[in-house]
A = this chain, B = another copy of it.
């Protein structure tokens, strides 16, 4: 599997070129508005003094870093503001490979393709741990797969693509596996605002020198194009206190710093957006999940209702989730989903539908008609 070239574009382009109306359920970009404070922040920045158009501190605008540190109850020195969750994961994974023995990265299967692509690009060995039938990674399976060769374990909760959410016990077990194998747990929590189960627990709840948590405002504020994310590294006075320094250096020598207008707007929005915005986004998605799962039932699909995130993985009878069938679904049903094969082997027969479209109702009707 060539994870280095994400396959999202292939299906999106096929759908865009189709000779009929298609509900696009491939991309993970929110279709709703960012908080008003994001727009206001950008407008205010546009009028700022000339010196505010110059380099932000490499680790991020001070107020933004302070707000992130306060949100997680950690020392500011542990926080690096990054170019989205993408760079946060990049810094965490490269840091883990450099700092811990072994050259192997443990990944869930199905896997968010960027993790696997990055692992391949970095020349790491990859070992995939298949999820259970309900879409969750069993900590015991991760423990069985881990060894002294393991340098990095990646967990993602709420999960893309399965919708699984890991509670406190599961997260503690993942941390323990990392500690027992002298490895780094990279906990990608970019969907943390989209937990419908009330069970989500950050890996930072466990005090450990073997954990880096990554996150971003891309999904929570519907600004995937801004590229404002962050990583929280282990305490600087602990045995892996050098991880944050190394990541800071890598970040500086790769990007110098992040984009300041975007950081400024996000900082404003952190201060001035009340919880109603996030609740409305969750409610919108829960309604869509409800409607879409109803249709899946009618269409005879096998699936697990997501506990978090934007996505539903579903398997239709006699319709494996190949690229060929994803294209057929575009042409014949007018719905574009992502082939399960793009996420690995464990769910190669599924299709992933992103609920980031106002046309979930239309898609639901079309799938019922096509499969029902």
Contacts and interface: CB of A to CB of B under 8 A. Distances in A.
A31 interface: yes
B227 A258 contact: yes
A253 B83 contact: no
A67 B34 CA distance: 29
A47 B43 CA distance: 9
A39 B30 CA distance: 26
B225 A257 contact: yes
B43 A46 contact: yes
Nearest to A38: B53
B225 A87 contact: no
A265 interface: yes
Contact of A223 (B43, B53, B87): B53
B255 A83 contact: yes
Contacts of A47: 39
B225 A260 contact: yes
Interface in A250-266: 250, 252-262, 265
Can you tell how many copies of this chain the complex includes? 2
A126 interface: no
Interface residues of A, number: 55
A271 interface: no
A133 interface: no
Interface centre among A27, A255, A258 (most CB of B within 10 A): A255
A255 B55 contact: no
A22 B193 CA distance: 47
20 contacts: A31-B51, A34-B50, A39-B46, A42-B42, A42-B45, A53-B222, A53-B223, A53-B224, A54-B222, A55-B224, A83-B256, A84-B256, A86-B255, A86-B256, A90-B254, A227-B257, A227-B258, A227-B259, A228-B259, A262-B262
